Chain A
Amino acid sequence: DQQVKQNSPSLSVQEGRISILNCDYTNSMFDYFLWYKKYPAEGPTFLISISSIKDKNEDGRFTVFLNKSAKHLSLHIVPSQPGDSAVYFCAASADFGNEKLTFGTGTRLTIIP
Protein backbone atom coordinates (compact mmCIF):
# COMPACT_ATOMS: atom_id res chain seq x y z
CA ASP A 1 0.00 0.00 0.00
CA GLN A 2 1.90 3.03 -1.31
CA GLN A 3 0.54 5.95 0.70
CA VAL A 4 2.88 8.48 -0.93
CA LYS A 5 3.29 8.29 -4.69
CA GLN A 6 5.67 9.93 -7.08
CA ASN A 7 4.41 8.81 -10.45
CA SER A 8 7.26 10.23 -12.53
CA PRO A 9 10.43 8.16 -12.06
CA SER A 10 12.46 10.68 -14.03
CA LEU A 11 12.34 14.24 -15.33
CA SER A 12 14.70 16.21 -17.60
CA VAL A 13 14.69 20.01 -17.59
CA GLN A 14 16.78 22.59 -19.39
CA GLU A 15 19.08 24.67 -17.22
CA GLY A 16 17.42 27.96 -16.25
CA ARG A 17 13.89 26.64 -16.71
CA ILE A 18 11.44 25.60 -14.02
CA SER A 19 11.46 22.06 -12.62
CA ILE A 20 8.14 20.79 -11.24
CA LEU A 21 8.10 17.59 -9.23
CA ASN A 22 4.80 16.08 -8.17
CA CYS A 23 3.66 13.94 -5.29
CA ASP A 24 0.27 12.43 -4.38
CA TYR A 25 -0.80 10.91 -1.09
CA THR A 26 -3.73 8.82 0.08
CA ASN A 27 -3.63 9.09 3.88
CA SER A 28 -5.78 12.05 4.96
CA MET A 29 -4.10 11.98 8.38
CA PHE A 30 -0.81 13.27 6.94
CA ASP A 31 -0.26 16.80 8.23
CA TYR A 32 3.38 17.56 7.52
CA PHE A 33 5.12 17.16 4.19
CA LEU A 34 8.78 17.37 3.26
CA TRP A 35 10.99 17.23 0.21
CA TYR A 36 14.44 15.67 0.34
CA LYS A 37 17.17 15.65 -2.27
CA LYS A 38 19.52 12.71 -2.56
CA TYR A 39 22.81 12.26 -4.37
CA PRO A 40 24.24 8.76 -4.98
CA ALA A 41 25.99 7.23 -1.98
CA GLU A 42 24.79 10.02 0.31
CA GLY A 43 21.90 10.41 2.70
CA PRO A 44 18.79 12.45 1.89
CA THR A 45 19.23 16.19 2.43
CA PHE A 46 16.26 18.19 3.71
CA LEU A 47 15.10 20.84 1.25
CA ILE A 48 11.79 22.32 2.30
CA SER A 49 8.66 21.40 4.22
CA ILE A 50 5.07 22.48 4.57
CA SER A 51 2.48 22.06 7.29
CA SER A 52 -1.10 21.18 6.36
CA ILE A 53 -2.31 24.55 7.64
CA LYS A 54 -0.52 26.23 4.73
CA ASP A 55 -0.82 25.88 0.97
CA LYS A 56 2.54 27.35 -0.01
CA ASN A 57 6.02 27.64 1.41
CA GLU A 58 8.96 29.30 -0.29
CA ASP A 59 12.70 29.16 0.36
CA GLY A 60 14.92 30.76 -2.24
CA ARG A 61 14.62 28.88 -5.53
CA PHE A 62 12.39 26.22 -3.95
CA THR A 63 8.63 26.49 -3.47
CA VAL A 64 6.32 23.75 -2.24
CA PHE A 65 2.58 23.87 -2.95
CA LEU A 66 0.02 21.80 -1.07
CA ASN A 67 -3.49 21.05 -2.33
CA LYS A 68 -5.20 19.20 0.49
CA SER A 69 -8.46 18.59 -1.30
CA ALA A 70 -6.59 16.87 -4.12
CA LYS A 71 -4.07 15.26 -1.74
CA HIS A 72 -1.33 16.61 -3.96
CA LEU A 73 1.85 18.53 -3.44
CA SER A 74 4.48 19.80 -5.81
CA LEU A 75 8.00 21.18 -5.62
CA HIS A 76 8.99 23.98 -7.95
CA ILE A 77 12.63 24.79 -8.57
CA VAL A 78 13.35 27.96 -10.48
CA PRO A 79 15.70 28.60 -12.09
CA SER A 80 17.00 25.03 -12.38
CA GLN A 81 20.76 24.58 -12.06
CA PRO A 82 23.04 21.65 -12.95
CA GLY A 83 23.67 20.99 -9.24
CA ASP A 84 19.96 20.28 -8.84
CA SER A 85 20.42 16.98 -10.69
CA ALA A 86 19.58 14.37 -8.05
CA VAL A 87 16.78 12.10 -6.87
CA TYR A 88 13.99 13.96 -5.08
CA PHE A 89 11.86 12.26 -2.45
CA CYS A 90 8.54 13.44 -1.16
CA ALA A 91 7.78 12.40 2.45
CA ALA A 92 4.88 12.81 4.86
CA SER A 93 4.14 12.31 8.53
CA ALA A 94 0.88 11.96 10.42
CA ASP A 95 1.20 11.52 14.14
CA PHE A 96 1.81 14.28 16.61
CA GLY A 97 4.72 13.16 18.73
CA ASN A 98 5.89 10.51 16.28
CA GLU A 99 7.09 12.00 13.06
CA LYS A 100 8.02 8.78 11.31
CA LEU A 101 8.18 9.55 7.64
CA THR A 102 6.46 7.78 4.77
CA PHE A 103 8.45 8.27 1.58
CA GLY A 104 7.58 8.20 -2.09
CA THR A 105 9.73 6.22 -4.50
CA GLY A 106 11.56 9.28 -5.80
CA THR A 107 11.93 11.23 -9.03
CA ARG A 108 15.31 11.46 -10.73
CA LEU A 109 15.77 15.04 -11.94
CA THR A 110 18.34 15.72 -14.64
CA ILE A 111 19.19 19.32 -15.52
CA ILE A 112 20.45 19.66 -19.06
CA PRO A 113 23.11 22.37 -19.51
Chain B
Amino acid sequence: NAGVMQNPRHLVRRRGQEARLRCSPMKGHSHVYWYRQLPEEGLKFMVYLQKENIIDESGMPKERFSAEFPKEGPSILRIQQVVRGDSAAYFCASSPSAGLNQPQHFGDGTRLSIL
Protein backbone atom coordinates (compact mmCIF):
# COMPACT_ATOMS: atom_id res chain seq x y z
CA ASN B 1 0.00 0.00 0.00
CA ALA B 2 1.68 3.16 -1.20
CA GLY B 3 -0.87 5.51 0.36
CA VAL B 4 -0.69 7.70 3.45
CA MET B 5 -0.66 5.44 6.50
CA GLN B 6 -2.05 6.55 9.83
CA ASN B 7 -2.05 4.61 13.07
CA PRO B 8 -3.74 3.80 15.21
CA ARG B 9 -7.10 3.94 13.41
CA HIS B 10 -8.90 4.27 16.74
CA LEU B 11 -7.50 5.55 20.01
CA VAL B 12 -9.26 5.75 23.35
CA ARG B 13 -7.80 7.82 26.15
CA ARG B 14 -8.98 8.99 29.55
CA ARG B 15 -8.94 12.66 30.42
CA GLY B 16 -5.45 13.76 31.40
CA GLN B 17 -3.61 11.10 29.40
CA GLU B 18 -1.42 11.66 26.37
CA ALA B 19 -2.37 10.76 22.80
CA ARG B 20 0.17 10.08 20.05
CA LEU B 21 -0.98 9.88 16.45
CA ARG B 22 1.34 8.69 13.71
CA CYS B 23 1.46 9.41 10.02
CA SER B 24 3.69 7.95 7.32
CA PRO B 25 3.41 9.98 4.10
CA MET B 26 3.23 8.51 0.63
CA LYS B 27 6.54 7.38 -0.78
CA GLY B 28 8.38 10.34 -2.24
CA HIS B 29 6.32 12.89 -0.32
CA SER B 30 8.18 15.20 2.02
CA HIS B 31 5.34 17.53 3.03
CA VAL B 32 2.87 16.57 5.74
CA TYR B 33 -0.31 18.34 6.82
CA TRP B 34 -2.50 17.52 9.83
CA TYR B 35 -6.22 18.32 9.91
CA ARG B 36 -8.93 17.78 12.53
CA GLN B 37 -12.57 17.04 11.83
CA LEU B 38 -15.17 17.52 14.53
CA PRO B 39 -18.56 15.77 14.12
CA GLU B 40 -20.70 17.26 11.32
CA GLU B 41 -17.98 19.75 10.37
CA GLY B 42 -15.38 20.08 7.64
CA LEU B 43 -11.69 19.43 8.12
CA LYS B 44 -9.72 22.19 9.84
CA PHE B 45 -6.03 22.76 9.17
CA MET B 46 -3.74 22.30 12.17
CA VAL B 47 -0.08 22.17 11.09
CA TYR B 48 2.16 21.87 8.03
CA LEU B 49 5.57 20.20 8.32
CA GLN B 50 8.48 19.33 6.14
CA LYS B 51 11.25 17.02 7.26
CA GLU B 52 12.57 18.34 10.59
CA ASN B 53 10.78 21.68 10.14
CA ILE B 54 7.44 23.12 11.18
CA ILE B 55 6.40 25.44 8.36
CA ASP B 56 2.99 26.61 9.58
CA GLU B 57 1.36 25.79 12.93
CA SER B 58 -1.27 28.53 12.80
CA GLY B 59 -4.09 26.01 13.27
CA MET B 60 -2.67 24.32 16.34
CA PRO B 61 -4.14 25.06 19.78
CA LYS B 62 -1.61 27.07 21.77
CA GLU B 63 -1.30 24.53 24.56
CA ARG B 64 -1.05 20.74 24.84
CA PHE B 65 -0.64 20.11 21.08
CA SER B 66 2.66 19.55 19.31
CA ALA B 67 3.80 17.99 16.05
CA GLU B 68 7.04 16.77 14.60
CA PHE B 69 8.32 15.19 11.39
CA PRO B 70 11.78 13.80 12.11
CA LYS B 71 14.41 13.00 9.54
CA GLU B 72 13.66 9.31 10.00
CA GLY B 73 10.28 7.87 10.82
CA PRO B 74 6.68 9.05 10.73
CA SER B 75 5.21 12.40 11.61
CA ILE B 76 3.77 12.49 15.12
CA LEU B 77 0.89 14.60 16.42
CA ARG B 78 1.03 14.66 20.20
CA ILE B 79 -1.77 15.80 22.51
CA GLN B 80 -0.92 16.09 26.18
CA GLN B 81 -3.44 16.02 29.02
CA VAL B 82 -6.36 15.26 26.71
CA VAL B 83 -9.80 16.69 27.38
CA ARG B 84 -13.25 15.68 26.12
CA GLY B 85 -13.15 18.41 23.47
CA ASP B 86 -10.16 16.72 21.81
CA SER B 87 -12.45 13.89 20.63
CA ALA B 88 -12.36 14.09 16.85
CA ALA B 89 -11.03 12.47 13.70
CA TYR B 90 -7.46 13.52 12.94
CA PHE B 91 -6.34 13.26 9.32
CA CYS B 92 -2.89 13.45 7.89
CA ALA B 93 -2.20 14.40 4.27
CA SER B 94 0.98 14.46 2.24
CA SER B 95 2.21 16.03 -0.98
CA PRO B 96 5.46 15.75 -2.89
CA SER B 97 6.32 19.44 -2.91
CA ALA B 98 4.94 22.90 -2.38
CA GLY B 99 4.27 25.74 -4.75
CA LEU B 100 3.18 23.59 -7.67
CA ASN B 101 -0.52 23.18 -6.91
CA GLN B 102 -0.33 19.46 -6.34
CA PRO B 103 -3.24 17.81 -4.52
CA GLN B 104 -2.79 16.49 -1.02
CA HIS B 105 -3.49 12.82 -0.47
CA PHE B 106 -5.08 11.79 2.80
CA GLY B 107 -4.81 8.86 5.15
CA ASP B 108 -7.88 7.22 6.67
CA GLY B 109 -7.51 9.11 9.91
CA THR B 110 -7.25 8.37 13.62
CA ARG B 111 -10.48 8.56 15.55
CA LEU B 112 -9.67 9.80 19.03
CA SER B 113 -12.20 9.23 21.79
CA ILE B 114 -11.75 10.74 25.23
CA LEU B 115 -13.55 9.04 28.12
Contact = CB atoms under 8 A, between A and B. Distances in A.
Contacts of B41: 105
Counting chain B CB atoms within 10 Å of each CB, which of A51, A101, A106 scores highest? A101
B104 A46 contact: yes
B42 A100 contact: no
B95 interface: yes
Interface string B58-79: 0100000000000000000000
Taking residues whose C-beta sits less than 8 angstroms from the other chain, chain B's interface range is 20 to 34
A99 interface: yes
Given A43-B4, A44-B91, A46-B103, A100 B108 contact: no
Contact of A49 (B33, B101, B105, B108): B101
B33 A100 contact: yes
Contacts of B4: 43
Interface of A: 4, 31-32, 34, 36, 41-46, 49, 51, 89, 91, 93, 96-106
Given A100-B48, A101-B33, A103-B43, 10 more contacts: A46-B104, A46-B105, A93-B101, A96-B99, A97-B98, A98-B48, A99-B99, A103-B42, A105-B40, A106-B42
Interface of B: 4, 6, 33, 35, 40-45, 48, 55-56, 59, 91, 93, 95, 98-99, 101-109, 111
Q: Which 8 A-B pairs have the closest CB atoms?
A: A43-B106, A103-B42, A46-B103, A105-B42, A43-B108, A97-B99, A103-B43, A100-B45
